[in-house]
Structure 1
């Protein structure tokens, strides 16, 4: 999904102008190796530029490739992606990554780079692939230069081999370097399975995880929802190949799931990319296996193998949807008072890790990346809202292109109500705004739908493409008839789902009696008593929303209610303890968590039964 288009000019006229392109076309395809190479400058600034290369195989299939060319004006490459670049003097060599070496006849690969120049930035005039020259003519058509980046991006937005030691930039980047449009579907990069679509959920059937289906059907009544598409969580390195430890998630690996999706005839399959170094820095229940300084291992042992599998040509007709690193970037805005979060901000591990994942996975033609954007009860305040959007833009730029991002997801594994039908943020009670109620606490939003739509607009303002889409996880935010337990009451204000707005003239009483979200506090997030399944997955349900999804599979625990030793790096968080009286992040309230919960990701049949009983809309 590339919206940056480069101005095309004849090679003989190429100079230092921004947006120039050279095309070299191979000799007739009767040769064993034949190629068509397009070289484009998609952005330029004083002393630097961003280059893009499209290599098309017009001959026999390749199992690996090596592109060579020479700079005529002393340019140098400092960073590359989707291909490993080396340079000796003027001579440049790009070789394939492990995951994109195989290229069939008619297939393309798309390496890119950041370079420097001084005085003149001429276009290379000769290219060769695997030692065979690509020769031909150059198109003379052109497109408006207004679509070209003409200002230098922030230095901190470039991925380097060494993470920055300073804290990340959270201010809004210069608007002159922002891409605000997204190309029409017909102009999007295509793979052998057809063009990349604007909304991967539209017109497609979702993959049903057979491991989750079996667990759902083990609970009475579970067959009512067991054929619902849910996401597969790749929450540790071992999950890529599969593991015999079925206590958390399952034994099937990534390739197993993709093969099963093909066997089902599914149109899309969903995966959660979730193993950053220093993961979930403000909590303990979902801490991961990688330490705060293990970014190289994250890249080499986690992202690279995932990219290698997802790029397999056998899956090209399947839309692969990745939800990228839950709870990570928002923590850098709101929780740097936590030492681990401060470390991940200062060492650049989250930004550079996510940028690397976006770069690797975004290069695959049939992959769609959605970045996690927390929820309204986390970043719905003005002080968090804009800075979070800007940090996400910075991270996308660091990946090499904002087009590596299809959209964003809110409410992942959370419980915030999709809509509050009986009041809005503009409601006043006896002259007092509901923003002053203890539950709302001066937030700008009271539900996920209005938040997601507003955050989408702010993301576009930050620089993302104008037709990015949003997802909302509705797997556990239905809030039907709440069933209290002695250890975990539903919430102050009553156990049953409200059917009308309160008549109280006290703003706190009004909100508590009117809200359908029955949690004790909006900051409570672990195995919530009284929660129910929400809207079933559907495509394009509201303006700006690509889909309602079940990314957190109902019945998979958020964390253990007591300490449980395990080999997955998952700790015990008191926010999962039903006896805990809380902390400043939840207003020193009871947690509202269910007792008897296993570690995060493990099957919790009691919770699954409750989610079905309290589903809204109700299950038939």
Structure 2
């Protein structure tokens, strides 16, 4: 049967699960929890259309989609991604076609795809195309005399092949009645500034009306494709202010008009309609890697001591800078794919299949036209496009699009919302609890909480360990340990048990220092520091430290000290001042996060190198 074009292709429809990606995910520990999620099929080179040994081609995917559909409304998602001079401001995702090869793009790439999509055998499918990620936005921000311009982007702006290539793709693919085209529209951390947003909308309109296309060939726009920008920042809005200073003036927001992808997507849609696109256009948001869960996820707003402490303490997007895009450390799976989740949003989608690399962390010879971009190198200290910040990339990553197990495991650990049950037999152990943290610290007690573990037969309880010895059990996800000694460090870990008697591995250890005695007079200032490793790649790691005012008086300053038991060395630190002498480390507050009300928190993080063992240090916190 033919599928008549509808307003929202995802409404009331199933969505294709790519069996190649699903097999990769299911083979990973814990991966069966998400192996059944729908992800897009990337057509990123001419050879991908036909496929080859061990790789499905376009028609093979469409045939599989017809089988999965079983006669019901059904979406199959494709990424059309092979423009000449593709992605001109990056090297990891450079393509096979040179800047002037528009003819080959049309005849060898778009035309064969259009012919396959027009096959009557696939007329019952709803075929959703993401059209050419990154390239058009690059013409706005990285060409034509901008501070971040590149010669390749200047070339592509001058020769018009991005605009004409996108127009040709829209016209050719849009002629197929059951095709829905969504043009890539960057993300809020790229185009959300006043100087970028309207020019971007105008450029996309120019492309949509070039090379024989009209706006009728555009069903909507997709944002955050293969990126990490948070769907929603829950702890602050663009309209907030601190001591009369707008959130827009914070270093993180930096005068952007938007703080997250949902607000950006809805605003982009309104601007697009005003610019001449159809009033029924919808938005897609790629939520595959923007969950930002795990132990580093803030529980509430930051301290109102300054606008920077308020934003940095409360933002869930934990990147060094919103321009960082390659295999980001600490990222997690985001909202699961869903139809019509918000006004103006056709769907949350997983365009970028979780576990597929953004780019190689070092030069790798290949026949795919993919280069080495320093933004994929974890040692890189940045450039003008990311505010000269660290890249935040995971180490040992393969070529773009190749399977990256370490990234997939990182995304599972930090998923938000947390993952549910993973299915399987009753011999499968639960996952280890995550996000172990202290919720209250006194001179004689510690209260702990953690994220629930997942299990196929159901978690029945948790065992709590102090110093490697079990001290108690609970059926909930919190535990209070009392009778402790003041000014003493304790190491905690938790494991889960299930209804079949299986036990998980222990969680990552959490070191908590109890506060000093209560003292007398008008209240005392005390503090505790907790330490959590957010990622560890064998030769280095990232860690987060949370400082809590455990006293009854406000602090004006704090200091955290420790001595490494191994050969660890801090290589970079943020949100504090570092002194390091041999194995001894001292961190004092920054100028904006030393003042903490009773119960208030601040945090700092750091990257470090090591070899051999990486034991957690014992932290001591002193408050002024």
Please confirm whether the aligned pair reaches a TM-score higher than 0.5, indicating the same fold: yes
2:372 to 572, 577, 582: 572
- 1:234 aligned to which of 30, 43, 58: 43
CA contact (8 A) 2:340 2:347 kept: yes
Say if 2:93 is the partner of 1:286: yes
Distance (whole Å) between structure 2 residues aligned to residue 439 and residue 559 of structure 1? 25
| Alpha-carbon distance in structure 2 between the residues aligned to 1:393 and 1:243 | 36
Tell me the residue number matched to 2:229: 416
**How much has 1:218 moved relative to structure 2?**
1.0
**Pairs within 5 Å for 1:127-206:** 193-206=2-15
Is residue 2:349 matched to residue 1:540? no
The match for 1:370 among 176, 182, 191 is: 182
Following superposition, the deviation at residue 301 of structure 1 comes to: 0.2
**3-state DSSP of counterpart to 2:28:** coil
Structure 1: gaps of 5 or more residues: 1-191, 483-495
1:315 counterpart residue number: 122
Q: Residue in 2 aligned with 1:220?
A: 29
Aligned pairs (5 A) from 1:449-598 = 449-481=262-294, 496-598=296-398
The question of 1:381 aligning with 2:193 is answered yes
Q: Tell me the distance in 1 between the aligned counterparts of 2:3 and 2:16.
A: 19
Q: Distance in 1 between matches of 2:17 and 2:241?
A: 44
Q: CA deviation at 1:424?
A: 0.4
CA RMSD of aligned residues (A): 0.9
2:63 is matched with 259
Q: 2:413 aligns with which of 600, 607, 613?
A: 613
Instruction: State which of 82, 106, 114 in structure 2 corresponds to 1:299.
Output: 106
Matches of 2:414 and 2:347, distance apart in 1:
22
SS state of the match for residue 195, structure 1?
Answer: coil
Shift of residue 243, structure 1, vs aligned partner: 2.6
Question: What TM-score do you get using the length of structure 2 for normalisation?
Answer: 0.65
Change in CA separation of 1:365 and 1:617 when aligned onto 2, cut-off 3 Å: same
Alignment match, 1:396: 208
* Separation in 1, partners of 2:154, 2:253: 27
| CA distances 1:76-95 after superposition (whole Å, capped 9, x unpaired) | xxxxxxxxxxxxxxxxxxxx
Tell me, what secondary structure is at the counterpart of 2:14?
coil
Contact 2:303 2:309 in 1 (8 A): no
Distance 2:52 2:160 in 1: 30
Aligned to 2:443: none
Query: Aligned partners of 1:426, 1:194: CA distance in 2, in Å?
Result: 44
Q: Distance in 1 between matches of 2:216 and 2:198?
A: 20
Are the counterparts in 1 of residues 181 and 218 from structure 2 also a CA contact under 8 Å?
A: yes
CA offsets 1:76-119 (integer angstroms, 9 cap, x no match): xxxxxxxxxxxxxxxxxxxxxxxxxxxxxxxxxxxxxxxxxxxx
Equivalents in 1 of 2:414, 2:242: separation in Å? 29
2:154 counterpart of 1:345: no
Match of 1:277 among 84, 97, 104: 84
SS in 2 for 1:211: helix
CA deviations over 1:194-240 (Å, ceiling 9, x no partner): 42100000000000000000000110111110010000000000000
Find the aligned partners of 2:90 and 2:4 in 1 and give their Cα distance.
Answer: 40
Higher RCO structure (Cα 8 Å, ≥6 apart): 1
Deviations 1:35-61 (A, max 9, x none): xxxxxxxxxxxxxxxxxxxxxxxxxxx
Which residue of 1 is the match for residue 171 of structure 2? 359
Offset, 1:401: 1.5
For the residue of structure 1 that corresponds to 2:77, the secondary structure is strand
TM-score for the superposition, normalised by structure 1: 0.66
Structure 1 residues 19-38: aligned runs within 5 Å: none
Q: Deviation per CA, 1:481-505: give whole Å up to 9, x if none.
A: 15xxxxxxxxxxxxx2111112232
Quote the Cα distance in structure 2 between the aligned partners of 1:464 and 1:547.
Answer: 19
8 Å CA contact retained: 2:3, 2:126 = no
By how many angstroms is 1:430 displaced? 1.1
Q: Secondary structure at the match of 1:212?
A: helix
- In structure 2, runs of 5+ residues without a counterpart are 144-148, 421-624
Map of 2:485 onto structure 1: none
Determine if contact 2:376/2:391 at 8 Å carries over to the other structure: yes
Matched positions, count: 411
Report the alpha carbon displacement of residue 446 of structure 1 after superposing the two structures with TM: 0.3
Q: Is the 8 A contact 2:168 2:213 kept in 1?
A: no
Partner residue, 1:162: none
CA displacement, residues 339-394 of structure 1 (integer Å, 9 cap, x when unaligned): 11111111110000000000000000000000000000000001110010011111
Cα distance in 2, alignment partners of residues 475 and 204 from structure 1: 19
Instruction: Report deviation, 1:264.
Output: 1.1
